[in-house]
Structure 1
């Protein structure tokens, strides 16, 4: 099966054989390095790599027989030659960048393969949006494989999306050249209950011989988990502890351990390998969500590998988890994931296997980055106008839209409150006693209780659902609004003042999406995300500066949480416990049902 426009092995096999035999010259030889072989888990000194037509033809102690007068030579100078890194599960939209600009940002960090699930844009633009992401992905100089989103909406009946994904959409997408499988199956209750739609999507994927992505966001490892595993998902990235990782691999799934901008789940799970001694072949490193600031300042998969090493993983095993394990899982072991004959020539030169400085990156046999600088062009897709105008509020919002009416005669009420958990996706279901003023329930800065509102922005209904959230630490009069609101990507607004909340929401309507912060009635930070209200096609460095402005603005309003902007955007993710908000109201994700915001008067 052809999985990208890149020439297949069959296309270039005669050249590979001829170069390996010394009958023809290689295009490129990387000479005199330490070959990190992820198949045998060993480091072989004084080795060279011969490359032709973008693929590895020969690896051995002397590639002199592959060198001709036109062969380019790169001196490894005893540096380590490691495979290009693979991200096994991630969402490009979380970087607030298009595929082209995301690729430009990660190439200098040594990421040469990504397995992306564009379910963010699927919620806004449906299968057409997925196709746009897929097409731009195939234009890039690195390998970007697309998983067809499975769940839009992620929880039917609990949220409203711009579009829905159907089994027919999935079956159609399985025929596209860059589709590698089905995106994370977030509707785990649907799978557990044998929902015909979910099973039909997975059946279409299985029939195409492709991989089903998992998402089991529950601590319950009893019969429900086993029912989910029986349904077909081949991996899962929602584990947060050692027991999660162990149970997944015992049931034949790959445990994908994520280390992104806000999710720090590697350290708690890696002990399944480092202490319990489980076979590391079933473990994969991924990022899930990385914002532009992380990409420009800290790295991407190189950052995840370094972290795994820092928390006790053997460097060679950590590299396997970011290369060959990922490739094998998706059926691409003969294409990517190692420096061996026939594979795409994706190579990193680094002087240290622990700190992992990425000094030179080769992708498909071309030097694409050196010393942190991207050397290649990353082409852009021609995004149509309707993809750039997706924020439809239906009216000018007022402060009254962001108020919670109190029961008649109440002076105080007991309200359910979404509790933020720093560096983790789950939230806590909290309660708080709140005062009533002028017939409206008030938030309480002293108790760290702010308002959270979900503004419908796909159909222009003017609907606003209101609730309360704790954990941001906001003070004063402020509001933050974002059209990045996983997974329905309505508009989510958090604030301490209805007037500022209205200002922030209307501002995003004016700029067709993004993130904005108002403090004391003035705009203090803005990042425009005009493509589907999720992405910018500006360079990552420019977006990162504006995104950092959002982080700084949140801090100026009293928030000290790590990556608080990502925590903000996940308040509407109604498939991860315990409590969330959608356009339909407050959602109890432990029961997968809507729940009343106010419990009682006090």
Structure 2
């Protein structure tokens, strides 16, 4: 890896002192930050081969997205006005309607989107809907991880079994376009998870890590599932959680709400290596449980869940819990642009309290950088610009009409910037985006490949009608 000096930028360090350096420089060597400080001091002590001009730009840690879904990038907007229809499409695609080619193309597209928006690290569940994972065979997860690795961003790929009862029906798409259908039980899904962990966790460059997921168990499941099936689900989640602890992996769950945190606590699932997504309408005792156990929260302010209920992110943080921002991307109406989600978070909670002083810009930025790194257990490596940490950083072009004038850089960045303002992205000191253009890959080829795979998938499951969603011209309700 080449030595790099980024010079002349306004630097938002997000270090312990939250330093903002007006005319700063950052030196990188061996993929790690070796110096951050005033430009003249760093330039004098760190002559390097490659200079990156940061004048007129803000240099900051790469953004971190703590909750998103692999696969969604080729389904976005389909059936978006009907949540049940959306989940049915996800369930079909992620069990019987997708090929490794689908997962590879979607991974490249989603990772390219993250890269373009300055998201250097993100969590991606290998599926979605009601936590339907494509874990019948390692080929699908392998294809996803290969796609991410080609783009070069950092990723935490969450895999796990579907909710009991089993077996679930999965299918392989044959060469002639037919389907070979087969039952998949819990043990087979766990074998798939272990194979993906063995192959990808840590890897050669450490940019891909694995996590484990099991669907949330809510009150409704105890009421509606057969008693034996519910007991089996409890057994299964215990096994998944035990493996996460044994392998020292992040454990995450998607869709906590209205009593499910209390249930997770009773099942022994909480802890500082647990990341609970959405967490809407929590009771006071559940907020206390998260804080007392060190459990992390992925708050997705732009998600449908945040319309149906409210994540008490402010109350959680005031209680001492770590809360980080997620996009819940890409679908059905949201992208991976973390600037958008920071702005949404501020307005979401300010409207709740009817108080414009709630969730100031500095705390909001922390939730997408250093707090997010903490939520993933990676705060010693990423999330701030400090000597010794990995050089995951972005340059945001501030010489744009909506970001001018050049004062109050933190406020200007958080309140007004968007992902397309990102000029340069580096991960481990490798420049992956420069001048807004990827350095490793051809973005047009990635988009065209994704379009082809999306068309094949739509035809395969007969979902053409899901594209015919009324725009709602002249109407205030659909």
Normalised TM-score (structure 1):
0.54
Question: Does structure 1 conserve the Cα–Cα contact (< 8 Å) formed by 2:28 and 2:34?
Answer: yes
- Correspondence for 2:306: 264
Higher strand share: 1
Change (3 A) 1:95 1:389: closer
Q: Is the alpha carbon distance of 1:171 and 1:368 closer, same or farther for their aligned partners in structure 2, counting shifts above 3 Å? A: closer
Shift of the 313–359 alpha-carbon distance from structure 1 to 2, 3 Å rule, reads same
* Separation in structure 1 between the aligned mates of residue 379 and residue 238 of structure 2, nearest angstrom: 27
Q: Equivalents in 2 of 1:389, 1:554: separation in Å?
A: 21
Residue in structure 1 matching 2:209, options 180, 193, 203 = 180
Q: CA deviation at 1:278?
A: 2.9
Instruction: Name the structure, 1 or 2, with higher relative contact order (CA <8 Å, separation 6+).
Output: 2
**Equivalent pair of 1:246/1:272 in contact (CA under 8 Å):** no
- Mapped contact 1:242–1:271 kept (Cα < 8 A): no
Question: Greater CA deviation, 213-222 or 326-335?
Answer: 213-222
Judged with a 3 Å threshold, the aligned counterparts in structure 2 of structure 1 residues 132 and 278 are, in CA distance, closer, same or farther, namely same
The residue correspondences of 1:16-35 to structure 2 (distance < 5 A) are 26-35=3-12
The answer for unaligned runs of 5 or more in structure 2 is 75-104, 172-183, 202-207, 222-228, 351-357, 399-411, 447-451
Partner of 1:444: none
- Displacement after TM superposition at 1:213 (Å): 1.0
The 2-side partners of 1:127 and 1:390 are apart by 24
Deviation, 1:390, is: 13
Determine whether 1:303 maps to 2:367. Answer: no
Distance 1:35 1:161, change over 3 A: same
* Pairing 1:29-428 to 2, within 5 Å after superposition: 29-61=6-38, 62-68=41-47, 70-77=49-56, 79-96=57-74, 98-120=106-128, 122-123=133-134, 126-147=137-158, 149-152=159-162, 154-156=163-165, 160-162=169-171, 163-164=184-185, 165-178=188-201, 180-188=209-217, 195-215=234-254, 217-220=256-259, 224-230=263-269, 234-241=274-281, 243=283, 245=287, 247-260=289-302, 262-264=304-306, 268-272=311-315, 277-279=318-320, 282-291=322-331, 294-295=334-335, 300-310=337-347, 311=350, 312-350=358-396, 351=398, 352-357=412-417, 358-364=421-427, 365-369=429-433, 374=438, 376-377=440-441
Higher Rg of the two aligned structures: 1
Name whichever structure is richer in helix by fraction: 2
Cα distance, 1:269 vs structure 2: 2.0
Does the 8 Å CA contact 1:191/1:227 hold for their aligned counterparts?
Answer: no
For 1:491-510, what aligned pairs fall within 5 Å after superposition? 508=458
Shift, 1:43, TM fit: 2.6
8 Å CA contact 2:123, 2:156 repeated in 1: yes
Equivalent pair of 2:258/2:281 in contact (CA under 8 Å): no
RMSD: 3.9
Distance 1:32 1:216, change over 3 A: closer
Equivalenced residue count is 377
The CA distance in 1 between the partners of 2:59 and 2:362, in whole Å, is 12
Cα distance in 2 between the residues matched to 1:340 and 1:94: 34
Q: Residues of 2 paired with 1:29 and 1:44: CA distance?
A: 13
Mapping of residues 427-466 of structure 1, within 5 Å: none
> 1:66–1:515: structure 2 CA closer, same or farther, 3 Å change rule?
farther
Is 1:180–1:211's contact at 8 Å kept on the other side of the alignment?
A: no
- Structure 1 residues 249 and 68: alpha-carbon distance in aligned structure 2, compared to 1, 3 A threshold: same
Q: CA deviation at 1:315?
A: 1.8
1:264-288 residue CA offsets vs partner (Å, 9 max, x unmatched): 36964233157xx3336x1111122
- State the TM-score, normalizing by the size of structure 2: 0.67
**Is residue 242–residue 270 contact of structure 1 (8 Å, CA) maintained in 2?**
no
